[in-house]
Amino acid sequence: MIHHGFMTRSSSLSRGTPSARIAVLAVLLQLAFAGHCVGDQHQWNPFLVCREAAETIAARPLLVSYCSLADEDYVEFWAARSQRIVATSSPELYELIVSGERLYRSDCAFSSGEFPVSKEQWTFHEETEGAHWFSLGVDLAYVYVQVAGGTFRCLAQLLDLPCVVAVETIRLPDHVLDEVVARHGIKCLLTAWPLSPFGRCPCSGR
């Protein structure tokens, strides 16, 4: 169904040298701004890996975002519109930036132990107008691409990259995909498209 519409220990910080305390605070701040997911695995990659990931997304633009290593996380549906590869502060490593629409978000957050999720548990709300456009760097371990019908597989695993994930595939009920196609007019979402040069997805019309 789709609906519209660290804890810190002060005693630890009080001990040690000033530089050690600063280092601890830096780690805590980094964790605080990391969001709901835990640890980057494939946020930065060699250029050829980023290019292969971009080509895969361009050919299969319907994505699922889910961090299987978090205690729990919401499942989001994305329609990728374009991709670009940017340099990072680390030599030889690049980041894939995906731009598109965040179409739906699950009403409930799921832990990895709840997968496979039963059909009755899949309920979503549509993102409000103006809040659904995004452009952000993606970690290939926490993005799932469509491989067949309503089955989505971890992109990092699909590209044979070493990674640790608790959920390898996510299966969505057919009525969810039908709703996305009907409501947003993205006709190619259920089609196995051949790989195309990264950039615009073949069905973006933009």
pLDDT in tens, 83-96: 999 999 998 999 99
- SS3 letters for the chain? CEECCCCCCHHHHHCCCHHHHHHHHHHHHHHHCCCCCCCCCCCEECHHHHHHHHHHHHHCCEEEECCCCCCCEEEEEEEEEEEEEEECCCCCCEEEEEEEEEEEEEEEEECHHHCCCCHHHCCEEECCCCCCEEEEECCCCCEEEEEECCEEEEHHHHCCCCCCCCCCEEECCHHHHHHHHHHHCCHHHHCCCCCCCCCECCCCCC
| 200 pLDDT tier (thresholds 50, 70, 90) | very low
The answer, yes or no, to whether residue 1 has pLDDT greater than 80, is: no
Q: Are 55 and 83 in contact (CB under 8 A)?
A: no
Least confident of 6-20, 49-63, 73-87, 127-141: 6-20
Would you state the pLDDT for residue 122?
82
Would you state the pLDDT for residue 25?
43
| Closest CA relative to residue 4, chosen from 126, 115, 90 | 126
pLDDT in tens, 153-183: 999 999 999 999 999 999 887 777 777 777 7
21 vs 120, which has greater pLDDT?
Answer: 120
The answer, yes or no, to whether residue 125 has pLDDT greater than 90, is: no
- Domains of the chain by residue range: 6-32, 44-190
Whole-model pTM: value is 0.72
Q: pLDDT averaged over the chain?
A: 75
Would you state the pLDDT for residue 97?
96
